[in-house]
Structure 1
Amino acid sequence: MYGFDIFWLLFFFMLVLPSLRQWNIERLRQNLIKKIEQNRKSRVITLIHRQESIGFLGMFARNFISIEDSEEVLRAIKLTPKDMPIDLIVHTPGGILLAAEQIASALSKHDAKVTVFVPHYAMSGGTLIALAADEIVMDENAVLGPVDPQIGQFAAVSILKVLEQKPISEIDDNTIILADMSKKAISQTRQFVYDLLISNDVPEDKANELATTLTDGRWTHDYPIMFEEAKQLGLNVTCGIPNEVSALMHLYPQASQRRPSVQYVPLPYQRPTSNGKEK
């Protein structure tokens, strides 16, 4: 009987522990977000997608920009006074184009300054959202990415290449239909990026150049645009993520694995001077 009770106690512990851990980490996140808001006198919104342990027995889910995300971000923007700055922390591989466009459009309409922080990466739809900001703050090793449309698993520009390289009689109807969709998708996305940049007072010729560069498929869709290249392209980027934002990212841990692939002592080190003292 005693062993039976121990079994159920262990089962209950395994059932409840992931929820308690998630509750505690949510509490820590909220406290740190409030601290950042107080320091910067802004509304802080996070759009962070990681493979995170959640729910029953610590099951995990990998996320991307979704319609639900756009609903929540738009709700947060509506709850923000028009004269209050917005700080959006973005860490995402991208996602649904419609959702990203809704978020970007709402940010571009906000009267006060909008700052997007990119601690690690904001690819595809994440870059599209960043383009709506008055300022993009990147870590020195963070990356943005192209915003060229994808049709299914293929780049839209690559589908159009088929029409250029093969006689129309040798192309099946499905590919022709996809090519028509690709042409429209590229045109629509390019126009959207152009309008975003114009709304941020980017000169017309520069806005047109940037919109073309980011949508014409000259790179693969996962091409990393580092800080230096983003600066050269003419994006309004600055380097240097605040310590509080970096600390907040640590509260969005990856799902735990049996054997960690990366390990280190999580402390800042200082090199000793010649007399043996730390500097």
Structure 2
Amino acid sequence: MDFINVLWLFILVASLAPMVKQRVLDSERFRLMRKVEEKRGSRVIALIHRQESMSLLGFPIARYIDIQDSEEIMRAVKMTDPKIPIDIILHTPGGLVLAAEQIAYALSKHKGKVTVFIPHYAMSGGTMIALAADEIVMDDNAVLGPVDPQIGEYPAVSILKVLDEKPAKDIDDQTMILADVSRKAIAQVKATIEKIACCQYSDEAAHDLAEKLASGQWTHDYPISFEEAKELGLKVSNKMPEDIYKLMNLYPQARTRRPSVEYIPVPYEKRPGAAKGTPNKG
């Protein structure tokens, strides 16, 4: 075999290797999802957003909740018998309000138990989806986020604050228009949260959640911890199944450089190499 043939063979193998690797990864995901379904007698839906790379050029693509996600999840819910529980695994920075609302409404109407698992974070629209669940299972270090609407690059509440601090004659037309849109957006999001949450919480509790999560008392990226979620009155638990973490490992972040975090991926019951009788802390 001459050099040219070897070169072509190398190019062929190199081009096919990512496809084969992805097929193997997809197979492992479905196998583990099926395992969880059999254990819990449920339908498992994964809504996991990672920064992904284009298959050929390697450019990073940021992922977020979009219309395709909402359509897929609504179809999955539709194909599930009303009596069968739904387990949805959430790992998302948020996304389109419309898409998040559609997903939340579909889950809130499902008659079987809906459990949302949050191993790391579910911000903004992800939190809205979580409000539709009968139970939210969070890792001890996982976080939710506020669902206050954003108008362009600014929080709606901050735009309205301009009206309170400046006389109308000193405010330009564009800001006045944005303020009008902001007022409507806040009212709409609060109303949506109340409609979604009232299926799982009392009317008073749903109203309270809407006020706290959509009123802009925090910045949009404020992390609501497991403890804070409990204080808000959310139905949260920290009993995360180990299989959920294993499934997350099958959604690796695309790597275009040397990883900045490395560790030996096995559980440690005690400090490695510690002498007998030596405390693990101190």
TM-score scaled by length of structure 1: 0.95
The answer on whether the counterparts of 1:117 and 1:136 sit within 8 Å (CA) in structure 2 is: yes
| CA offsets 1:61-117 (integer angstroms, 9 cap, x no match) | 221000000000000000000000000000000000000000000000000100000
Distance in 2 (alpha carbons) for counterparts of 1:219 and 1:261: 30
Distance in 1 (alpha carbons) for counterparts of 2:62 and 2:52: 7
In the alignment, which residue of structure 1 is the partner of 2:128?
128
In the alignment, which residue of structure 2 is the partner of 1:83?
83
In the alignment, which residue of structure 2 is the partner of 1:223?
222
Alpha-carbon distance, 1:162 to partner: 1.1
The answer on whether the counterparts of 1:18 and 1:54 sit within 8 Å (CA) in structure 2 is: no
Alpha-carbon distance, 1:208 to partner: 1.2
Distance in 2 (alpha carbons) for counterparts of 1:19 and 1:53: 13
Alpha-carbon distance, 1:240 to partner: 2.4
Q: Is the partner of 1:44 in helix, strand or coil?
A: strand
In the alignment, which residue of structure 2 is the partner of 1:41?
41
Are residues 93 and 109 of structure 1, via their aligned partners in 2, closer, same or farther at CA, if it must alter by over 3 Å? same
In the alignment, which residue of structure 1 is the partner of 2:149?
149
Alpha-carbon distance, 1:5 to partner: 1.8
Distance in 2 (alpha carbons) for counterparts of 1:266 and 1:52: 22
Read off the aligned partner of 1:95 and give its amino acid letter.
Answer: G
Alpha-carbon distance, 1:58 to partner: 5.0
Q: Is the partner of 1:38 in helix, strand or coil?
A: helix
| CA offsets 1:112-171 (integer angstroms, 9 cap, x no match) | 100000000000000000000000000000000000001111100011111111121121
Distance in 1 (alpha carbons) for counterparts of 2:244 and 2:62: 21
Alpha-carbon distance, 1:13 to partner: 2.0
Unpaired runs of 5+ in structure 2? none
CA-based RMSD of the aligned residues comes to: 1.5
Task: Provide the aligned length of Structure 1 versus Structure 2.
Answer: 275
Aligned pairs for 1:29-178 (under 5 A) are 29-53=29-53, 55-56=55-56, 58-178=58-178
Distance in 2 (alpha carbons) for counterparts of 1:270 and 1:185: 50
In the alignment, which residue of structure 1 is the partner of 2:244?
245
Are residues 57 and 31 of structure 1, via their aligned partners in 2, closer, same or farther at CA, if it must alter by over 3 Å? farther
In the alignment, which residue of structure 2 is the partner of 1:264?
263
Q: Is the partner of 2:88 in helix, strand or coil?
A: strand
Distance in 2 (alpha carbons) for counterparts of 1:264 and 1:94: 29
Alpha-carbon distance, 1:12 to partner: 1.6
Read off the aligned partner of 1:119 and give its amino acid letter.
Answer: P
Alpha-carbon distance, 1:187 to partner: 0.2
Alpha-carbon distance, 1:197 to partner: 1.6
Q: Is the partner of 1:268 in helix, strand or coil?
A: coil
Kindly, what percent of the aligned residue pairs are identical? 55
| Greater CA drift, 217-226 or 168-177 | 168-177
The answer on whether the counterparts of 2:146 and 2:218 sit within 8 Å (CA) in structure 1 is: yes
Alpha-carbon distance, 1:57 to partner: 5.6
Read off the aligned partner of 1:228 and give its amino acid letter.
Answer: E
The answer on whether the counterparts of 2:138 and 2:237 sit within 8 Å (CA) in structure 1 is: yes
Read off the aligned partner of 1:116 and give its amino acid letter.
Answer: V
Alpha-carbon distance, 1:15 to partner: 1.4
Alpha-carbon distance, 1:6 to partner: 2.2
The answer on whether the counterparts of 1:18 and 1:56 sit within 8 Å (CA) in structure 2 is: no
Distance in 1 (alpha carbons) for counterparts of 2:85 and 2:275: 43
Unpaired runs of 5+ in structure 1? none
Read off the aligned partner of 1:220 and give its amino acid letter.
Answer: T
Q: Is the partner of 1:87 in helix, strand or coil?
A: strand
Distance in 2 (alpha carbons) for counterparts of 1:105 and 1:223: 24
Alpha-carbon distance, 1:35 to partner: 0.4
Distance in 2 (alpha carbons) for counterparts of 1:239 and 1:68: 30
Distance in 2 (alpha carbons) for counterparts of 1:208 and 1:118: 23
| Greater CA drift, 1-10 or 90-99 | 1-10
Alpha-carbon distance, 1:14 to partner: 2.2
TM-score scaled by length of structure 2: 0.94
Alpha-carbon distance, 1:273 to partner: 6.7
